Amino acid sequence: IKAIEQKRQHAEITRNRIEEEIRENHPYFDRPLFAVGRESRFRRLCQTIVYAKYIPTTMDAVTGKLIQRKYSEIHELVGLMTYLDWTMVILTSLSCISMLFESPWPVGGNNLVFNNPYLQISEYMFVLAMTFELVVKLLANGLFFTPKAVVRDAGGVMTVFIYLTSLIFLIWMPKHVKINSGAQLLLLFRAMRPLRIYTLVPHIRRVVVELCKGFKEIMLVTVLLFVLMFIFASFGVQIAGGKLAKCNDNNITNQEDCTGTFWQKVFVTRLDVYGKNDDVLHPQILVPRAWYLFELV
Chain center to CA of 150 = 21
37-206 sits in which CATH class?
A: mainly alpha
**Is the pLDDT at 53 greater than 90, yes or no?**
yes
- pLDDT of the residue at 297: 58
Phi, psi of 245 (to 5 degrees): -145, 160
How many Å from the N-terminal Cα to the C-terminal Cα in the chain?
A: 50
Mean pLDDT is highest, among 6-10, 63-67, 134-138, for: 134-138
> 267 versus 191: which is more confidently predicted?
191
Contact 52, 81 (CB under 8 A): no
Q: pLDDT tens, 210-224?
A: 888 888 889 999 999
Q: Which of 173, 88, 86 is nearest to 129 (CA)?
A: 88
Closest CA to 118 of 131, 129, 102: 102
Q: Compare 21 and 194 and report the one with higher pLDDT.
A: 194
**Which pLDDT band holds residue 266 (cuts at 50, 70, 90)?**
confident
- This prediction has a pTM of 0.70
pLDDT higher than threshold 90 for residue 58: no
In terms of Cα–Cα distance, which of 175, 172, 144, 176 is closest to 29? Answer: 144
Provide the residue ranges of all domains of the chain, joining segments of one domain with +. Answer: 1-30, 37-206, 243-297
